[in-house]
Amino acid sequence: MMHQTMMSFRRDPDAVKGKRLERQLLRRVLGMTRPYRAALIGFFISVIAAAIIGVIPALLFRSLIDNAVKNSDETLVVVLSGLAVAVALASAGLSLVQRWYASRVGEGLIYDMRVALFDHVQRLPISFFTRTQTGSLQSRLNNDVIGAQNAVTGTLGTVISNIITLVVTLSVMLVLEWRLTILTLIVLPAFIIPARRIGRRLQTVTRESFTLDASMNNTIAERFNVSGALVVKLFGNHDRERDYFAERAARVRDIGVTSAMYSRVLFVALGFVAAVGTAVVYLVGGHLVIQNAIPLGTLAAFVIYTGQIYQPLTQLTNSRVDVLTAMVSFERVFEVLDFPALLVERPGAVDLVDPVGRIEFDHVWFRHPSNDVASLRSLEEGNPGLEDDEPSAWILRDVSLSIAPGELIAIVGPSGAGKTTTAMLVPRIADAVEGTVRVDGHDVRDLTLDSLREAVGFVMQDPHLFHASIRENLRYARPECTEEELVAACRAARIDDLIQSLPDGYDTVVGERGYRLSGGEKQRVAIARVLLKAPSIVILDEATSHLDTESEHQIQRALTAALAGRTALVIAHRLSTIVNADRIIVIDDGRIVEEGTHTDLLARNGLYSDLYRTQLDRDAESAEQDALESA
């Protein structure tokens, strides 16, 4: 109980200043507990039963003094002793029952909220993740979910338990002796005042400690992932990093000492005032016993009850801050759950059945939505564009394009022209603001997302591999594939020999983001993943960018065979890789400015010709420089 009292003083009242317990929020919280109604009823019954049993030991002690000892009744002594043991067993049993019901409700709520949050967040658009701090999002999935669970089974449960305990205990005390009961309550302000004053100081240092802890955790997360560790080794200094971390750790240490002393002073103050209150009961109660106004056993019972009511009363004086603080966690969870997804399936959406890969862009315009539509402000702290509530400039402008099944289309253009955005609209990673994107004659917004994305394979410029085995990363695209199909895809991507040479073969864990593999190896695994999926439409976003010349040549041959009969969109900066495309689409400033074969476009002496010749000159200069350095 004292530990709970101390923790209640660590709440931050400033965080809930001016807040009220909103009925709508409370109804929603209660709605989440509806599946656990039976467990909650059991919890409340066990709390009431425990409160009733909690007053029995003092009554047994009263009877021992006033009846058994006074009348020298040894039989009653034995009976009272047996009842004391029975009460202790019942109290222990009820404590276990309360714990079971509380954990049943609490862990169930954690499960429900985590799954709901995870499911909702993964369906949000990419624009949400480009603006959101990953750490803040993780905090919602972990800290706030646990905080919401504690709000129900911890804070609210403690408040209810304290109320019930006080009602039962004070009722018994009033029946026994109303004068001593009133005297006990009059002493209460002297008990609360030191707790409030010392508690405020404890809250101040605790808030600073939490801030520094969060800062240290961020430092650890940034420095101890692969990319961060590499930056420190290449540009930083280990001693400087240690000193920077040690400075904050030292402040946390000092705060820990201060907090420990404040806690001990608070503990001593509470104990002293409780002792004073008990002494007052001794003084007045002893006087009443001497005057034969009350029995001695009643005084003994009151001494016990005095110790039982002070701590619950103190906790209840902070109950408003405790409850409102706990409800903040629910608000933060609901804030994410209520954030609408920009990409949703229309009612009556149909599956894309037996796709052949026909793609059409019909007067498509696209721009990124404003921040307030794309993401949550509370998850993008520190974002310099946070206050920009206007949509971006137009990225695609009146794009119309028709791609036949099995056609290999290359999309080229200057950086930022809208090449990747064009490709992203096909699997509906984003939606056109105006115009229509069709696959096999269907508006992509009329198709189910699962069936549409099942028909599209995507190899990104910087492929992402999960911290899992090569086999698990490959099967992610097609969990039901056979081992033979998996190996065949890797052979086609020219990566099987490398995998077989590894000590653990296909069970080799690739590390965070695939950092145990080279850029070219990781790229080939990603290509194998797409080949294993066997989609009707393949999008390659600079898929050979990380390959050396020989690997690139092998992949180009593999892709030529693998893409046969499939529609392919190839986004390329290295124009030498797409000279054999059926058509080349040149995009500049969001518009299609040229279209044709490699030979046709060179003959026109337009933007494509300029890009191609510039790249040839750059490659020639690079080759000449390499030759000079070798010499």
Which region among 62-76, 303-317, 416-430, 592-606 has the lowest average model confidence (pLDDT)? 303-317
- Residue span of the structural domain in which 227 resides: 178-293
How far does CA 545 lie from the centroid of its chain?
33
Give the pLDDT band (50/70/90) at residue 13: very low
Domain identity same for 130 and 14: yes
Q: Is 557 a member of any domain?
A: no
Residue 57: give its domain's CATH number.
1.20.1560.10
Question: Is the distance from CB of 141 to CB of 117 less than 8 angstroms?
Answer: yes
pLDDT of residue 2: 45
Domain identity same for 223 and 237: yes
Q: Which residue has the tokens 């530990």?
A: 3
Exposed (0-12), middle (13-18) or buried (19+): which is 348, by Cβ within 10 Å?
exposed
Q: Which residue has better confidence, 353 or 143?
A: 353
Domain identity same for 239 and 210: yes
**Pick from 425, 457, 458, 455: nearest CA to 351:** 455
Give the pLDDT band (50/70/90) at residue 12: very low
Q: C-alpha angle with apex 87: 89 to 77, nearest 5 degrees?
A: 120
Domain identity same for 257 and 326: no
pLDDT of residue 455: 92
pLDDT at 6 over 50: no
Mean pLDDT of the chain: 81
Domain identity same for 201 and 241: yes
DSSP track, 157-223: HHHHHHHHHHHHHHHHHHHH-HHHHHHHHHTHHHHHHHHHHHHHHHHHHHHHHHHHHHHHHHHHHHH
Q: Is 299 a member of any domain?
A: no
pLDDT at 207 over 50: yes
Q: Which residue has the tokens 């190839």?
A: 570
Q: Which residue has the tokens 């005084």?
A: 299
Give all strands of the β-sheet with 359-366 in edge-to-edge order.
396-403, 359-366, 434-439, 442-443
DSSP track, 575-594: GGGGTT-SEEEEEETTEEEE
Q: Is 126 a member of any domain?
A: yes
Q: Is 332 a member of any domain?
A: yes
Domain identity same for 230 and 276: yes
Count how many domains the chain has.
3
pLDDT of residue 386: 47
DSSP structure class, residue 448: -
Give all strands of the β-sheet with 456-459 in edge-to-edge order.
456-459, 537-541, 567-571, 408-412, 583-588, 591-596
CA of 434: how far to CAs of 361, 371, 425, 440, 631, in Å?
Answer: 11, 19, 12, 19, 57
Domain identity same for 261 and 288: yes
pLDDT of residue 350: 94
Q: Is 572 a member of any domain?
A: no
Give the global pTM.
Answer: 0.72
Domain identity same for 16 and 145: yes
Question: Is the distance from CB of 357 to CB of 565 less than 8 angstroms?
Answer: no
State which of 534, 551, 579 marks the end of a domain.
534
Domain identity same for 166 and 33: yes
CA distance 286 to 183: 13
Question: Which range has highest mean pLDDT (152-166, 199-213, 233-247, 575-589)?
Answer: 575-589
Q: Could you read off the pLDDT of 85-134 as tens digits, one per residue?
A: 999 999 999 999 988 998 888 888 888 888 888 888 888 877 777 777 67
Q: Could you read off the pLDDT of 496-554 as tens digits, one per residue?
A: 888 999 888 999 988 777 777 877 788 888 888 888 888 999 998 876 655 666 666 66
pLDDT at 421 over 80: yes
Question: Which residues, 6+ apart, have CB-to-CB distance to 490 below 8 Å?
Answer: 474, 496, 499, 525, 528
pLDDT of residue 398: 94
Report the sign of the C-alpha dihedral through residues 148, 149, 152, 154, in that order: negative
Domain identity same for 207 and 67: no
Q: Which residue has better confidence, 521 or 601?
A: 601
Q: Is 604 a member of any domain?
A: no
Query: Which H helix or E strand runs over 109?
Result: helix 74-122
State which of 280, 307, 339 marks the end of a domain.
339
Domain identity same for 96 and 150: yes
Residue 293, φ and ψ in degrees, nearest 5: -80, -30
Question: Is the distance from CB of 439 to CB of 452 less than 8 angstroms?
Answer: yes
Question: Which range has highest mean pLDDT (194-203, 271-280, 322-331)?
Answer: 271-280
Helix (H, G, I), strand (E, B) or coil at 556: helix
Q: Is 364 a member of any domain?
A: no
pLDDT at 449 over 60: yes
Domain identity same for 193 and 259: yes
> What number of CA atoms fall less than 13 Å from residue 211's CA on the CB side?
9
- One-letter amino acid at 387 equals E
Q: Which residue has better confidence, 504 or 376?
A: 504
Mean pLDDT within 218-228: 71
pLDDT at 334 over 60: yes
**Pick from 552, 608, 549: nearest CA to 583:** 608
pLDDT of residue 282: 85
Q: Is 258 a member of any domain?
A: yes
